[in-house]
């Protein structure tokens, strides 16, 4: 194959190629590549943001979970404490009541005792005065005559045996 | 029906007569279809004349190629600015003193010829391809201003190709840091070759012409790649050529010429590869079609057409493949020239 007039195609190829290159570079390739690049950047950014949001959500969820767990534990602890307090209060109340009751019983017993003592003492006094009155009357009657006074002395002297 | 048959018969007769008149020469047919021309053959004897632009001894001369009346044998003389021109096998010469053409023993004209800057068929195709590219890509680029979201329409079709050139050709071969500077060149070459190749596969006006089966055009592209390579070559690149690392000093007188030769063989291979691949495809298709006329039998037609179809489909692949290969190798050579020392 014979190449004819090479200068025409060389000349025009260079001219047309340069014009085409300059025009396309300015009006096509740069805007297209720029747009593609910026879109890629924005997609990447969006993905990153989404990923971050997802992570944050996860963290939030974890936090919530933790908070819930804590709240539950706290509630459990509170219930337990309340129960303990209740039990303690009951026990305490029971103990106190017992003590009080014991004390009351004790007091009652003491007062009964003292009443009893008082009653006994009263009884003794009355018995003693009665005895003395009786003795007085008996003695008065015994010692109303000389005979009887002498007899008594005799009896008593009899009793007092010399040993 | 009968009249139709008669017409067909007549047609065949005339065809046979023509065939008898001048024997069918497939070489000439193929040559005619694969080489550059001053006219754009449309159909039958209809051609579109193209401007002839000559830089002569008396300055610039322009006229339409129709002035030669399809003559390629130096018989029609065109007189402009007091100079006479003839055309012999696509080359325009001054006439000799007798107003004719002088031939040497091998039947090559020995006449002087002016510098020829005509808008030939290939130049026309190049311009058409370029205009098409501008028409495709400038609106695509504009569409990005209006639409900042996912691309639509033509942009949606072109963007993957642009991104392909960027991510699969430029980035891996030139490197993340430096590829951006060379993207406009690689994209221009990729699409110019691809669209140019596809134009050649469309068998009717105004396509038909194939840029890339002209070695001059592939040579220009390869030269541009070569110039980009050497003007962007860094210290490391030149160091590799003139002081190949790890080579003993006394071997350098051998190594330097080899390396310098290597600088030139790379673009040379680019030029030949693209030219040869596309031309070969066209020659095969034309040869297959020529078989019908060589055998002078319609029976060959189905086979020829089947094979041609196969070749056409293959050519469609080759059109894209060669554009890819040219761009890839350009990127590779540029990459070698700019790569950082490692």
All structural domains of chain A with their residue ranges: 6-124
Between residues A118 and B298, the one the model is more confident about? A118
Q: Nearest by CB to A24, which of B34, B126, B134?
A: B134
Question: pLDDT tier at A162 (50, 70, 90 boundaries)?
Answer: low
In chain A, which among 20-49 make CB contacts under 8 A with chain B?
Answer: 20-21, 23-25, 27-36, 39
Q: Which two tokens stand for residue B155?
A: 């942009």
Q: Do B116 and A7 touch (CB under 8 A)?
A: yes
CA distance A2 to chain B (A): 8
Question: pLDDT tier at A145 (50, 70, 90 boundaries)?
Answer: confident
Model confidence at A142: pLDDT above 80: no
Contacts of A14 in chain B (CB under 8 A): 220
CA distance A41 to chain B (A): 12
Q: Do B138 and A13 touch (CB under 8 A)?
A: no
Contacts of A21 in chain B (CB under 8 A): 184-185, 188
Residue B229's Cβ-count burial label (10 Å; 0-12, 13-18, 19+) is buried
> What pLDDT does residue A75 have?
94
> What pLDDT does residue B15 have?
44
| A8-18 per-position pLDDT tens digit | 888 999 999 99
Between residues B316 and B99, the one the model is more confident about? B316
Between residues A107 and A150, the one the model is more confident about? A107
Question: pLDDT tier at B19 (50, 70, 90 boundaries)?
Answer: very low
Helix (H, G, I), strand (E, B) or coil at B25: coil
Cα(B213)–Cα(B334) distance, integer angstroms: 24
> What pLDDT does residue A1 have?
55
Q: Do B166 and A33 touch (CB under 8 A)?
A: yes
Contact yes or no for B144/B159 (Cβ under 8 A)? no
Cβ pairs bridging A and B (under 8 Å): 130
Q: Do B187 and A11 touch (CB under 8 A)?
A: no
pTM of the model: 0.74
Q: Do A21 and B188 touch (CB under 8 A)?
A: yes
Q: Nearest by CB to B162, which of A7, A16, A36?
A: A36
Q: Do B216 and A9 touch (CB under 8 A)?
A: yes
A105 inside 8 A of chain B by CB: no
Question: pLDDT tier at B121 (50, 70, 90 boundaries)?
Answer: confident
Helix (H, G, I), strand (E, B) or coil at B110: coil
| A84-120 per-position pLDDT tens digit | 999 999 998 899 989 999 999 999 999 999 999 999 9
CA distance A52 to chain B (A): 22
CA distance B150 to chain A (A): 8
| B141-162 per-position pLDDT tens digit | 888 888 777 788 888 888 899 9
Q: What is the ipTM of this complex?
A: 0.85
Cα(B123)–Cα(A8) distance, integer angstroms: 8
Residue B175's Cβ-count burial label (10 Å; 0-12, 13-18, 19+) is middle
């Amino acid at each position: 194959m014979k190449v004819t007039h090479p200068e025409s195609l060389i000349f025009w190829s260079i001219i047309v190629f340069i014009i085409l290159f300059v025009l396309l570079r300015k009006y096509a390739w740069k805007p297209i590549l720029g747009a593609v690049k910026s879109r890629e950047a924005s997609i990447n950014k969006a993905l990153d943001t989404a990923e971050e949001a997802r992570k944050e959500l996860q963290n939030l969820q974890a936090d919530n979970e933790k908070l819930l767990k804590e709240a539950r534990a706290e509630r459990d602890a509170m219930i337990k404490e309340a129960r303990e307090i209740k039990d303690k209060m009951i026990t305490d109340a029971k103990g106190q009541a017992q003590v009080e009751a014991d004390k009351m019983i004790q007091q009652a017993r003491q007062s009964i005792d003292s009443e009893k003592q008082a009653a006994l003492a009263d009884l003794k006094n009355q018995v003693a005065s009665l005895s003395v009155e009786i003795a007085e009357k008996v003695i008065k009657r015994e010692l109303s005559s000389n005979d009887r006074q002498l007899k008594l002395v005799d009896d008593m002297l009899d009793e007092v045996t010399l040993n | 029906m009968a009249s139709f048959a008669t017409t067909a018969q007549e047609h065949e007769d005339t065809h046979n007569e023509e065939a008898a008149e001048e024997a069918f020469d497939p070489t000439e047919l193929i040559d005619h279809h694969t080489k550059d021309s001053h006219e754009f053959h449309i159909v039958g004897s209809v051609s579109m004349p193209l401007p002839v632009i000559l830089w002569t001894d008396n300055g610039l001369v322009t006229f339409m190629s129709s002035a030669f009346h399809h003559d390629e044998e130096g018989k029609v003389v065109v007189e402009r600015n007091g100079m006479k021109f003839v055309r012999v096998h696509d080359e325009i010469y001054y006439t000799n003193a007798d107003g004719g053409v002088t031939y040497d023993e091998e039947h090559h004209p020995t006449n002087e010829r002016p510098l020829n800057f005509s808008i030939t068929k290939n130049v026309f195709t190049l311009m058409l391809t370029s205009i098409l590219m501008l028409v495709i890509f400038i609106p695509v680029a504009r569409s990005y201003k209006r639409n900042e979201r996912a691309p639509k329409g033509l942009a949606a079709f072109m963007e993957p190709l642009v991104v392909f050139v960027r991510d699969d050709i430029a980035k891996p071969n030139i490197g993340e840091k430096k590829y951006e500077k060379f993207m406009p060149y690689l994209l221009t070459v990729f699409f110019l070759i691809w669209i140019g190749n596809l134009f050649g596969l469309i068998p009717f006006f105004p396509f038909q012409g194939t840029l890339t089966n002209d070695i001059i055009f592939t040579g220009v592209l390869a030269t541009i790649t070569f110039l980009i390579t050497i003007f962007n070559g860094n210290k490391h690149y030149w160091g590799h050529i003139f002081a190949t690392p790890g080579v003993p000093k006394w071997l350098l007188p051998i190594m330097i010429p080899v390396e310098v030769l290597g600088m030139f063989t790379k673009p040379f291979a680019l030029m030949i590869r693209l030219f040869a691949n596309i031309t070969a495809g066209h020659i095969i298709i034309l040869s297959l079609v020529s078989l019908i006329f060589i055998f002078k039998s319609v029976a060959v037609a189905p086979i020829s057409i089947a094979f041609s179809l196969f070749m056409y489909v293959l050519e469609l692949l080759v059109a894209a493949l060669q554009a890819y290969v040219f761009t890839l190798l350009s990127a590779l050579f540029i990459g070698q020239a700019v790569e950082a020392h490692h």
